[in-house]
Structure 1
Amino acid sequence: MKGKIKNILIIFLTFLPCVVILELFHTGFVFSLDRQAKHHAIEVVKEIDSILDYGEESNKQALNLISNDHSCSKVYAEIRTIVARIPYVRTTNLAHDDKVYCTSLWGPRELHYDSMKYISGKLRLMPGSEVEVKYPLIVVRTKIGKNVALSGIDGRYIKQLFSKQKSNPFVISLAIGDAWLTDNNKFTYNNPNKLFLAVQRAKSKTYPFTVYSGFNSSSSWLAFWQGELFYILVILLAQILFSIFCWWQLNRPRPLYLELERAIRKKEFVPYAQPIVDAITKETIGIEILMRWKHPFQGIVRPDLFIPQAEDSGLIIPMTDLLLKETAKQLREYKHDLPTPFHVGVNISPQHCKSSILLDECKVFIDEVSNHNVILVLELTERGALEVSEFTRGLFYDLKMLGCKIAIDDFGTGHSSLVNLQEINLDYLKIDRVFVKNIGVDCTSEHLIESTVELAKRLSLRIIAEGVETEAQAEYLKKQGIENLQGFLFAKPIPLGEFLQNYNQNISVIDSD
């Protein structure tokens, strides 16, 4: 009974923060919507201002051509040239005393226009024109004395501007007087923002128009659910995991340190393999060995749940020793089927670099595999800072003499520094998945990748890119000159024995063909 009450209390106490967090998150979401809507409205105003400036410029150039007799035939050709040269302007017309007497489309022509319909005497939104009655037109009016120039700008240019905002969940509309231009280039006298959420507006300081930006939803909670579903699920999942973790902490029979010691004695840490492929041929040239905890009750335990504790406690050293021995044992059975050379990457932490144990473990690995074509690549992780000393320099030198290669794992995300590149005789840099996943999305990540490639070339280092999940990412990395790729696009990590068996079968099929 006490155990049941304790579990209920755990659930209540862990999910109560979830409710509070979601409410705070929702409040912040609504505030963010208002701020983003205002920002988008201001940005669109700036861009529309720049488009209308072209109309103003066309008007000014056309007014400079007016002759004393207001003859259209003298200036018609030059007005057409102005319209053809200035972007966004579809037509420019000259008027005098409320009568248009010259147009860039038809030349001399008498048309009446009503200056009173122009907001502040400068701007008018029309549902269409004589040429295209279905497409709204924005007319920019410029007056010097009694001379007037009118330039028409197609509403489709504004629609294209609105379409640029489609990557954002906001609907943009334009108001000139009591006339509206909607995001789908429709002319209306009805306010299209009544059903939207977090509607914000921004007025132009140059022209008499207002831009409205609103979220396309009638409920803030619905918008919150639709817009932040991933993070809501993450919060809920985190709370569930937190509840499970709290239950486990309260009910587990021993501290994690003792559990890790037990797991080492029982050899529960097993090697998983993820292939590393040639960026051009897509052939497997090696693997990265990833540690997994095969717990007798909980199944496969993710490394992020125990690696940090193992490093803090120093148990990472015997765990790595266990992993190297098991990897060497399994590789030896298939060593004749592996390509030449075959890259085998194993993570090491800065704690490995404080004693000669790592060197002894690598010697045992090389002797066990007994194949010079298998190259052991030690991938220095960056969860902790590496203290470079005379001892570490000597250790890395001895490892290189032994035939090992040295790589910096997750370069640029941890404690890496240019000092490490200078002090350690490296062979590889591994680009972290956090940069690879943003290829095509964030130009900053692409610049960092390109800079890393350039740095590696100057230092004569090879590069492995992790976390490749799409063909587009792989193609981009290949074009940057990155030699090797790794990620879910090619394969997920699987038990080493399963990988070697599958690889052997594939080789056998190719040989038989």
Structure 2
Amino acid sequence: MSHTPYRFRFAKLARQFTLPLLAALAPVLVGVPLMLWQAERELVGQTQESFDYALRKVESIFDYAETATHQVRYLVGAPCKSAVFTLRQQSMATPFVRSLNLVRDGQVYCTSLEGARLFPEQSQNYSAGRLRLMAGNLVTPERALIVFRLPTPGGSVLAGIDGQYVVNALQLTGNDLSLSLQIGDYQLDADGSVSPTPWITSDNVSERASSRYPFRLRATLAPGSLNRTLESYFLPILGLLILCGTLVFWLMLKRRSPTEELERALRDGEFVPYYQPIVDADADRWDGAEVLVRWRHPVEGVIPPDQFIPLAESSGLIVPLTQALMQQVRRELSTRLGQLPHGFHIGFNLSAAHCHDWRLLDDCREFLAAFPPGRIILVLELTEREPFRATPHTFRLFERLREMGILIALDDFGTGSVGLDYLRHFRVDSLKVDRSYVAMADEDVLSQHLFDNIVDLAQRLSLTVIAEGVETPAQNAYLRDHGVHHLQGYLYARPAPLRDMLARLKSPPSRAASESRSACPDLR
């Protein structure tokens, strides 16, 4: 039997498919080398971008430390008793700086954390006489510490910087790149560990030195990063076919922008108030509640505020959103007023945009008019997301608010640099200590010192202190022992709609805390 017909048929098929096959392979044969070249460039660019960002971030941390040390350098040689309060004020007002210390004759003799102390400075251990990286110290033995040193004619000023701030900057890279900070003979890795700087020569390792401070950054590429970058280029090509169909679908639906979606939700009444009670621990009674907004999206469900409040502020919708929230709370409370204690405090977060005109007075007046005098106490909580400017208009506005019996609170106190500015410029009634201090107050010595300083400052200014984020019995006991008797957190009640909050108010706070512990013994 002859095989000639089959050979002829195969040759014909080969001629038919050879050209299309070559045409199909041509983009691959040409594109793969280009993609490899582009992937290598992308890796170099990502490393460069990570270097630049981390370098700026770390340098900005040291900038704050340098500014703080310059502010107090005149105190070098002064008695610790007269200098310690200024040291504490400056360290609290400066981001990233946890402590300030004065050095005379080679001895640290005064610290913002512990007052008068005496121990050697060890200036020889500082890189270029300015920076020192330590695995820990007596206050935080298992937490990295960076010390910034400013020499002065009479000694020096030391600024202690929590290494976690630098670790946070090192962690802001992709999974394929790890950064470490090198000071002298030691390096701080992205996991927070401190170790001697290894001697490494590899194509996967690159370094960058700061031109302003004596430190270097080292970047290490993970194995296989080039392959993963190549995959990221191949996958979009495969997705082009899907893109055509999804593009038509998207154009037909013409999906709204995020701002337009916020406007629609505001019109449709999708923003609802949640209430988190505040406890007067001395009297074992519910003293008030903070109003927190939630977005009940018809598709996504309940959306927390951190996902839409920044957009509302940047788009100018924060004022109408807060106005709608106040109106809804007024309607809800006016129908259930008999279930609330007399003089119950209701707090709303206030953005700087509310203070541009006098509408805030009308909103507050309308809110209070729905209740008998003194039945509900309105509290406005100033946030630090958008700083309030101290202008004649702002002063008059806040004076009018106080004349109406409205209380002013500083929210999240201790997390930013404008809190003390508010205390200097505005008359306030209470400080709400941020949950980050409360979370570590019962276990971290450094946080205890900072927390005690805040409480001491409030007592000096005759201000009420409210602790946010109380979650455990240990935190609760620590706060009470240190003079904080207004508490707010999951230990007592989670944010909830009015119906659920009123049900919680039927039991005293001590019982609510006991039920919370039994229902969830480990709240952390």
User: TM-score normalised to the size of structure 1?
Assistant: 0.49
Kindly name which structure, 1 or 2, has the bigger radius of gyration based on alpha carbons: 1
TM-score by length of 2: 0.48
